[in-house]
Amino acid sequence: MTYCLGIRVKKGLVAIADTRITSGSETTSAKKISIHKQGHNNIFLMTSGLRSVRDKAVTYFEEVLESEGNHFDKMYKAVNAFGEQLRRVAKEDKASLAESGISFNLFTIVGGQLEKDKDHKLYLLYPEGNWIEIGEATPFTIIGNSGYGTPILKRTLTYNSSLNFAIKTGFLSFDSTRVSANDVGYPVDMVIYHKDTGFMHEARFEESETAYFGNAWGEKLKAAIKEIPEDWINDLVSTVEKKGKDSIVRQIQEAQQQ
């Protein structure tokens, strides 16, 4: 499985992707995020799905950027171009994959800001090549293993959150997924884009470099749980026990009536 997170806040974009690849009992690492030159700007791609589909679609897309890149002055045009290459790969490989019992599958997150974009953009592409734009109401999207890392983002992150806050909650979202899913893990890659700059910063982190962050989060969670009053639990237990007794009484009465 994969964990790829894209965040769009007012001041910029954050992209976080794990690198763990699990095949049977074997575990390896592979880069799941890539930055592509687009005129004087850059865009990033993150993918979750079949590696062979990803590599082929990205290769085709890079060729398009080399030959037609200067024509993409808005993000949606570049996203459409990648979607076209994804559909091209589907035409070439989908049938043969199906014959082998493998479903054609690739989800993609694309982010950036091109020459005529008034604002930075974030998109989610589906395997069919269609896409949605990530808006302000829910300023993030996750592909791959999304269940464990989503709650903290939904509870805390808004479009007006600072870029630093987006990075913090993004790392905590990744950490929550990492400790809960064996197929997501370090090293983790991160890309940061500051609005209107056109340039993207990229770095890779090992667990030893950020372990304190996850440990601090774990200790804070334990402390917060202990601080929640427990008086209400007695009422909860009483309610459960009463309903349990009522259920037993009903069962006895029904048995006697038979």
Query: Smallest Cα–Cα separation from 139: which of 166, 172, 173?
Result: 166
Q: Is the dihedral of CA 218, 220, 221, 222 positive or negative?
A: positive
DSSP helix/strand/coil, 34: strand
Answer whether residue 236 is part of any domain.
no
195 has a pLDDT exceeding 80 = yes
pLDDT at 23: 63
Inside any domain, residue 118: yes
Of all residues in the chain, the percent with pLDDT exceeding 70 is 94
Residue 125, SS3 per DSSP = strand
Is position 40 within any domain? yes
Does any domain span residue 211?
yes
Distance CA 21, CA 201 (A): 24
Indicate if the pLDDT at residue 26 is higher than 90: no
* Residue 254 located in a structural domain: no
| DSSP per-residue string spanning 46-59 | EEEE-HHHHHHHHH
Looking at the DSSP bridge assignments, the partners of residue 144 are 3
Instruction: Map tokens 């290769």 to a residue.
Output: 59
Please say if the pLDDT value at position 202 is more than 70: yes
User: For position 168, what pLDDT does the model report?
Assistant: 95
Per-residue confidence at 111, pLDDT binned at 50, 70, 90? Answer: very high
Confidence of residue 238 (pLDDT cuts 50, 70, 90): confident
**SS3 label, residue 234:** helix
> Can you give the residue range of the structural domain that contains 77?
3-223
Phi, psi of 239 (to 5 degrees): -65, -45
What is the CATH number for 101?
A: 3.60.20.10
For residues 31 and 29, give the distance between their C-alpha atoms in angstroms, rounded to a whole number.
7
Q: What is the pTM of this model?
A: 0.88
Question: Does 171 have pLDDT greater than 90?
Answer: yes
Q: Is residue 252 part of a domain?
A: no
Q: List, in sequence order, every beta strand (DSSP E) within the chain.
A: 3-9, 12-18, 20-23, 26-29, 33-38, 41-49, 106-112, 121-125, 131-133, 140-144, 188-194, 200-205
Task: Give the pLDDT band of residue 251 (cuts 50, 70, 90).
Answer: confident
Directed axis angle between helix 207-227 and helix 163-180, to 10°? 90
* 67: Cα within 13 Å, side-chain hemisphere: 7
76-80, 129-133, 138-142, 207-211, range with the lowest pLDDT: 207-211
Taking the C-alpha atoms of residue 67 and residue 63, their distance in angstroms, rounded to an integer, is 6
Assess whether pLDDT exceeds 70 at residue 165.
yes
Check pLDDT > 90 for residue 43. Answer: yes
What is the spatial distance between Cα 101 and Cα 124, in angstroms, rounded to a whole number? 26
What is the C-alpha to C-alpha distance for residues 55 and 86, in angstroms, rounded to an integer? 10
For 114-126, write each residue's pLDDT tens digit.
Answer: 999 999 999 999 9
Residue 181 predicted with pLDDT over 70: yes
**249 in any annotated domain:** no
Residue 62 domain flag: yes
Structural domains in the chain (count): 1
